[in-house]
Amino acid sequence: MSSSILTIAGGALTRLAIVIAVLVIGCGNTASPDPSSGLPSQNDVLEECGPTILKRLRVELLQEAFRAGDSSAFREMLNVSGLDDTQQKTFLQLYVNNSGSLEDFWAALEADSSFKEDDLYEVRLTLFLARLAEYRLSVLQQIARLRQAENLTTLRDISMISRDKWRQVLADSHTDLEPDSFIRSVDKTFDDLRAGGCK
């Protein structure tokens, strides 16, 4: 997985967004599927991951985010998740200060009174969607608009977005992504989840 991450450094988001996005993209290998959708548990999918690249680049890249301020792509991605400025700074600071595992980091977030359960779910889901959007911020923002317009709150909801709507998302975002290729990638992502794995 880390090799594919490194190949998309030329995308619209910064290296920081690419690396941190991996933080919450779960592999779901041990998840039990939801009988209603065939997808693994949302929490399993959104919580399980831990590539070693994060540990090597953590401090450097997060310091870059602080320097970039509100204009950084990672900040924009957190804006999509709905976190306010104070929550975003707390999120970044807790990650910089975390010397343990990724599970320790999420436990620290969950223990922090700045965040409600729904806040952290939205962060995980937004970062999952950033991967789905191939780290194009404009695409991620259009997905967020579609979610709001159609009240799409779960992985199951998102997995049921029609191909025509995905094409409209891409058209509205003025992205360089080729629609048929993008839709195949989306289909494969959800097929992998239903099969119990996410690559």
Residue-level pLDDT at 36: 62
Report how far residue 81's alpha carbon sits from residue 167's, in angstroms, rounded to the nearest whole number. Answer: 22
Residue-level pLDDT at 60: 52
Residues whose CB falls within 8 Å of the CB of residue 106, separated by 6 or more in sequence, listed in order = 47, 120
pTM for this entry: 0.67
Report how far residue 191's alpha carbon sits from residue 39's, in angstroms, rounded to the nearest whole number. Answer: 8
CB-based burial, 161-182: b 16+ in 10 Å, e otherwise: beeeebeebbeebebebeeeeb
* Average pLDDT for runs of 10 along the chain of length 199: 34 44 42 56 49 45 51 74 90 81 87 92 88 88 95 91 96 93 93 70
